[in-house]
């Protein structure tokens, strides 16, 4: 047994199941189980205005009809070889995105274990929570950890790379997938290659941070640096043992959070107080930057991935990842190009976007915002969104159409003392029992049947019928039917913010 295998076995006494007692791992030696782990806690703004704080890029269809999360969930389907791939992936997401995450995974026909982080603490704690769950009841498994917001065109090539990486992981190494670079790029971290192995993989010499342009060019010219894809393959016990040595405070906090956590319907909820004690850090900084140094708790291996990978980290990267016309243009939605070259245009709100004579331009239209950007300046979008947020403009946080666990609402119009919303409630769903201090509401049913609670009353409304909810009166809207319920809500009052909601009862556990 190698040093890292011995260490993984000796250090495997940790809590691994929600609410279970800690105990030593029952499985030592060979491990044939692969557990996909999807890290879906991101809230990036580089794809604004499509990506928002409350609806980040993993939840949108950037390069196809499915969201990036749904594409990632499906990525391990059809995996061949001698490995047993778990039917239920582990998905780690934030509280604000849990309902949409569950909805999209369910729509994909996949049953998943969804871990809801009590707070944002970056990727290392997220992976640690998943590792503990993957070792439930003292078992062990090889984790295939993937970001939820990347694009990979060649899935068979991905599977071949994961198969090689899993063999190294089984032997006790932390394996990662590296992308042989096609150009100097300052937006990626790099992996400096160590000695070559007989299966195309390399030992990891070290991880290096995102370089300046001149240094990135030197890396590519040297041929000994690959891009860091952020995909890791490692035995759960090996990860936990490495973290315990390198980041003992993080290890202790995450293990305690899982041990003291509980199941809440479709979600696994780590204990918030325990998780709050963990430092915030990435996988790279917490563990991988130590690989190749004397302090390394185990070996590191990088496996090449040539599969049309993109992190979709900017609109320019989206343009680069998509099929183009003969002039190098990419269109999504109602778009017309006339004399345009190397441009990307997207109509998300349904309006026609016409680009005439544009070159190297990004145009993204949504219901409430339009972005026009030179492709060479896409990295400045993050700063732009920060400015919008400082001005307390709603376009930084949410779309006009806001998804809720019961369905969604779309803010159609608003003025000083009124707001008009289109509300759609899914069959069998219901809003919370609530009241408002500052507004009254008028509801008109346009499709379906509504069950209305208003004070002590409860009654049905059919199509073309309406009701009035006075200010300060407890009320609830439900859909008892089998088709979506659609209503038009007119709010009136001195304050119309979403924080003017006092909930008395909620099916979805919201406070």
Q: How far is Cα 131 from Cα 90, in angstroms, rounded to an integer? A: 9
| Chain segment 324-358, per-residue pLDDT in tens | 999 999 999 999 999 999 999 999 988 999 999 99
State residue 305's pLDDT score.
Answer: 97
Residue 365: pLDDT band by 50, 70, 90 thresholds? very high
438 has pLDDT over 70 = yes
- The number of residues making up the chain comes to 511
Residue 29: pLDDT band by 50, 70, 90 thresholds? low
Q: Which of 307, 266, 250 is nearest to 123 (CA)?
A: 250
388 has pLDDT over 90 = yes
Q: The tokens 């972005």 sit on which residue?
A: 371
| SS3 (DSSP) at 240 | helix
Segment holding 8, helix H or strand E = helix 3-10
485 has pLDDT over 50 = yes
Residue 482: pLDDT band by 50, 70, 90 thresholds? very high
Q: What DSSP letter does each residue of 90-104 carry, written as one string?
A: EEEEEGGGHHHHHHH
Q: How far is Cα 318 from Cα 395, in angstroms, rounded to an integer? A: 21
State residue 4's pLDDT score.
Answer: 37
State residue 119's pLDDT score.
Answer: 92
- CATH number given to 3-310: 3.90.550.10
Q: Which ranges in 345-420 belong to alpha helices (H)? A: 381-390
Residue 136: pLDDT band by 50, 70, 90 thresholds? confident
| Chain segment 245-300, per-residue pLDDT in tens | 999 999 999 999 999 999 988 899 999 999 999 999 999 999 998 987 887 888 99
**Mean per-residue pLDDT for 306-325?**
94
1 has pLDDT over 70 = no
Residue 28: pLDDT band by 50, 70, 90 thresholds? low
Residue 197: pLDDT band by 50, 70, 90 thresholds? very high
Residue 163: pLDDT band by 50, 70, 90 thresholds? very high
CB 425 within 8 A of CB 432: no
Q: Which of 467, 437, 433, 432 is nearest to 449 (CA)?
A: 467
| Chain segment 54-98, per-residue pLDDT in tens | 899 999 999 988 999 999 999 999 887 788 898 899 999 998 899
Q: Which of 111, 106, 139 is nearest to 16 (CA)?
A: 139
State residue 410's pLDDT score.
Answer: 93
State residue 272's pLDDT score.
Answer: 94
CB 381 within 8 A of CB 45: yes
For the chain, give the mean pLDDT. Answer: 89
**Mean per-residue pLDDT for 437-457?**
96
19 has pLDDT over 50 = no
- For the chain, the first-to-last Cα distance in angstroms comes to 51
Fold classification of 401-505 is: Jelly Rolls (2.60.120)
State residue 266's pLDDT score.
Answer: 81
143 has pLDDT over 90 = yes
Q: Where in the chain is the domain with CATH 2.60.120.10?
A: 401-505
| SS3 (DSSP) at 114 | strand
Q: How far is Cα 43 from Cα 97, in angstroms, rounded to an integer? A: 9
Q: Which two tokens stand for residue 402?
A: 């806001």
Q: List 450's β-bridge partners, or say none.
A: 461
Among 40-54, 376-390, 443-457, the minimum mean pLDDT is found in 40-54
Q: Where in the chain is the domain with CATH 3.90.550.10?
A: 3-310
Percent of the chain scored above 70 by pLDDT? 94
């Amino acid at each position: 047994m190698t040093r890292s295998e011995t260490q993984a076995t000796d250090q495997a006494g940790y809590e691994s199941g929600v609410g279970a007692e800690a105990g030593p791992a029952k499985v030592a030696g060979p491990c044939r189980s692969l557990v996909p782990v999807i890290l879906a806690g991101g809230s990036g703004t580089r794809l604004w205005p499509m990506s928002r704080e409350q609806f980040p890029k993993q939840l949108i269809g950037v390069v196809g009809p499915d969201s990036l999360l749904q594409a990632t969930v499906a990525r391990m389907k059809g995996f061949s070889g001698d490995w047993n791939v778990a039917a239920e992936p582990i998905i780690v997401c934030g509280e604000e995105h849990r309902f949409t995450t569950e909805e999209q995974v369910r729509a994909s026909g996949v049953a998943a274990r969804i871990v809801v982080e009590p707070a944002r603490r970056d990727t290392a704690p997220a992976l640690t929570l998943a590792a503990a769950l993957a070792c439930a009841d003292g078992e062990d498994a090889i984790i295939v950890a993937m970001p939820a917001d990347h694009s990979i065109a060649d899935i068979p090539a991905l599977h071949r790379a994961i198969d090689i990486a899993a063999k190294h992981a089984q032997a006790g190494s932390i394996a990662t997938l590296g992308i042989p670079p096609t150009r100097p790029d300052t937006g990626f971290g790099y992996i400096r290659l160590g000695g070559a192995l007989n299966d195309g993989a390399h030992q990891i010499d070290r991880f290096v941070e995102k370089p300046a342009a001149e240094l990135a060019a030197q890396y590519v010219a040297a041929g000994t640096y690959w891009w860091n894809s952020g995909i890791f393959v490692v035995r759960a016990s090996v990860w936990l043992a490495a973290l315990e040595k390198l980041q003992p405070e993080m290890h202790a906090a995450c293990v305690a959070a899982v041990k003291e956590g509980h199941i809440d319907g479709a979600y696994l909820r780590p204990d918030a107080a325990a998780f709050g004690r963990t430092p915030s850090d990435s996988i790279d900084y917490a563990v991988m930057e130590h690989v190749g140094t004397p302090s390394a708790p185990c070996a590191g291996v990088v496996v090449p991935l040539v599969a049309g990978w993109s992190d979709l980290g900017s609109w320019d990267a989206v343009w680069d990842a998509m099929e183009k016309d003969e002039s190098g243009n990419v269109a999504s939605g109602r778009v017309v190009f006339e004399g345009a070259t190397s441009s990307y245009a997207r109509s998300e709100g349904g309006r026609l976007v016409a680009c005439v004579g544009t070159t190297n331009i990004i145009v993204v239209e949504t219901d409430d915002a339009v972005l026009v950007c030179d492709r060479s300046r896409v990295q400045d979008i993050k700063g732009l969104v920060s400015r919008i947020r400082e001005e307390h403009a709603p376009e930084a946080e949410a779309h006009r159409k806001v998804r809720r666990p019961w369905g969604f609402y779309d803010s159609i119009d608003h003025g000083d003392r009124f707001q008009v919303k289109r509300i759609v409630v899914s069959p069998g769903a219901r809003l919370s029992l609530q009241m408002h201090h500052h507004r009254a509401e008028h509801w008109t049913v346009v499709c379906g049947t509504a069950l209305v609670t208003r004070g002590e009353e409860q009654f049905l409304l059919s199509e073309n019928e309406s009701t009035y909810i006075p200010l300060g009166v407890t009320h609830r809207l439900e859909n008892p039917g089998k088709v979506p319920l659609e209503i038009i809500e007119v709010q009136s009052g001195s304050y119309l913010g979403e924080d003017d909601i006092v909930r008395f009862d909620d099916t979805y556990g919201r406070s």
